[in-house]
Structures are given as structure tokens and as C-alpha cells.
Amino acid sequence: MDDMVTARRDEPQTDFVYCSGAITEVLKFGSCQLHSGHKVLFLILPGNPGVVGFYRTFMQTLHSMFGYRHPVWAVSHAGHCVPPDSMDMVEDASSAAEGDVFGLNGQIEHKLAFIRKHVPRETSLVLVGHSIGCYIILEVMKRDPELKVTKAIMLFPTIERMAQTPQGKVMTPVLCHMRYVAYLSLFLLSLLPEGLKTSLIKLVFGGIRSLDHSVVQPTVGLLNGDCAANAMYMGGQEMRTVLERDNTTIRKNLDKLIFYYGATDHWCPVQYYHDIKQDFPHGDFRLCENGFRHAFVLDTGREVAKMVVEWISGDLTT
């Protein structure tokens, strides 16, 4: 009986909603509707692509290690998910275009709109950002300083000089100048049968020894042309927009922030870790000693979640 209860607790719910006029996928472990009695919510803000299914193992581990006390949600980026048959990519094409909801600023406003609509103001937030999700967290905290943020966990943060990083130098021409060529390739891939797409993804991931197989199907979903095109459009804006580190917001919230940098992260060189640590000697900055990759969800979601639990257990009351 206990095993059955645990299995039910470990089974998430997936909701599709319109937020800022665009399709949004929300993955939820624990309570699916929040009320004033919920003291704490873990909210995951993903990297790019902003596909919540990538974070399933990470979220499940957080939820179980905190004794199933705190709901753990992840909100996708606008338009980074395949809509169910009954819904379209956008609810209102003109308003979505006007707000540039698929662009970086639009995605930030999208997260603010989601929080305002779905999270009671009295609920304390533990924000967990990955990659560009960390930049979005800083912007959310800046634009709504009254949010009750208990902690903000910044995993492999891309919060500055993205185009100057080794990976940024490779991807900037692709995302900013050759995007439409890539769109054509994605369109052709989207025409393949689902079984062949799955086989291709497994082939691409074949070199990852400890692959978390729960990421395969979300990756197949990305081969829907619209999702990948929206991710690339956002990525191009990241290269042009994420320039200087927002030291003002970091300084104002330093006691709430925990940064975790990769030791071999081509999106965020180790020098960035040393620079921010020097600028904020009293901040909580950690450098990976475990060899975790930037896309940690591919094979070490459970291990990273266990670290996060260790870091913040003392900050959460039961």
C-alpha cells in the first residue's frame, strides 16, 4: 500500500494553459492548485529549449526528498511545447506578436504573468533556474521586487556575455544570421514518422552512458518545427541581449541567491565564476567538482537535485 501511495505521489500532472496568449506546458509534482495554505512552491524556470519534460527526474527527486511536503512545478517557455489537439500555438496571434511573446523579453513577462495568475502572493517561492532560466529569474526579481522569493538557485547560469563564450561564438551566427536555413532543416525533420524521430534521437544520445531515458520523448516533441523555431528565435535574442551581468539585482538579492557554475561549461566559462566571486566575495558561488555537463538533465538530474536539497534544507520550515 505504501508503495502505491509513493508511486501516485511520484506521478506528475501535465497542464496546458494559455499564458500571455501563448501555449504553455506546466509539469506539476504535488498539489496542482495552490491556495493560501501552501507555504512554499518550487518553481523551475528552464533553459532553452524550455521543455519541462527534461526536468522530470530532477523535479521528482526534489519532491520526494522534501517528503512530498512542497509542490514542485516547472513552467515551459511560451511556445516551446506541442499543443494538444484542442489548442493552438497562440490564443490570439495579434496580441502574441505585439508582445513578442516568443522573444526573450516576452518570455520574462510570460513568467511574471504565470506567477501572478497561478501563485498566491503569500506563497513563498523557491525559484530554480537553469541556464537562461537564471537570467529570467534575475529579471523577474527586478521587475517584481515584492515577490516572496525565499531562495533562487542558479544552475549553470548564463547571465552575462553569452555571445563571447565558446558555445556562443559557434551559435551566434547560426541563431542570428542563418536561422531560416536551420528552419528548413527542422521542417524536413518534422515530416518524419514519430518512430524514426525517436530512433534518431536515441542515436544522437547514444554516446551518453547514463542517459536519463525520460528526456527522449520531450526531445522528439522538439522536432515539431514550430517549437524548435521558437526556441531558436529566443536563442538569437539571448545572444544580442545577455551582455553585462546585472550586478544591481544580484547585490539587492545576494542573500537569496545560490550560483552553481560548471567546470567545463562552454556556455559559461570558469572565468565567469571567478569574476563574479571576486565582485561579490560574500555571495554563495559554487564550482562543480563532479564533472556535470551544462545540460545536466540528460544524465545527472537526480544528483543535481540532491545537491539542491542539501543547500537549502535549512531555509525551509516544515
Mean pLDDT in runs of 10 for the chain (318 residues)? Answer: 58 95 96 79 97 98 96 97 93 84 97 96 96 98 96 98 95 84 81 90 90 94 87 95 98 98 96 98 97 97 98 80
pTM value is 0.94
CATH of residue 295: 3.40.50.1820
Residues 259 and 130: beta-carbon distance below 8 Å: no
Cα–Cα distance measured from residue 168 to residue 291, given in angstroms and rounded to the nearest whole number? 21
Number of domains in the chain: 1
Q: What is the pLDDT of residue 93?
A: 82
Name the helix (H) or strand (E) containing 184: helix 179-190
Q: What is the pLDDT of residue 318?
A: 47
Does any domain span residue 11? yes
Name the helix (H) or strand (E) containing 19: strand 13-19
Residues 6+ apart with CB under 8 A from 28: 12, 13, 14, 15, 71, 72, 73
Q: Active-site residue among 212, 226, 265, 299?
A: 265
Cα–Cα distance measured from residue 76 to residue 51, given in angstroms and rounded to the nearest whole number? 5
- Say whether 36 is catalytic: no
Does any domain span residue 237? no
Residue 64, domain extent: 1-161+243-315
Does any domain span residue 218? no
Cα–Cα distance measured from residue 1 to residue 133, given in angstroms and rounded to the nearest whole number? 38
In degrees and rounded to multiples of 5, residue 186 shows phi and psi of -65, -40
Does any domain span residue 152? yes
Q: Active-site residue among 131, 212, 226, 299?
A: 131
Q: What is the pLDDT of residue 99?
A: 87
Does any domain span residue 235? no
- Say whether 294 is catalytic: yes
Does any domain span residue 210? no
Does any domain span residue 52? yes
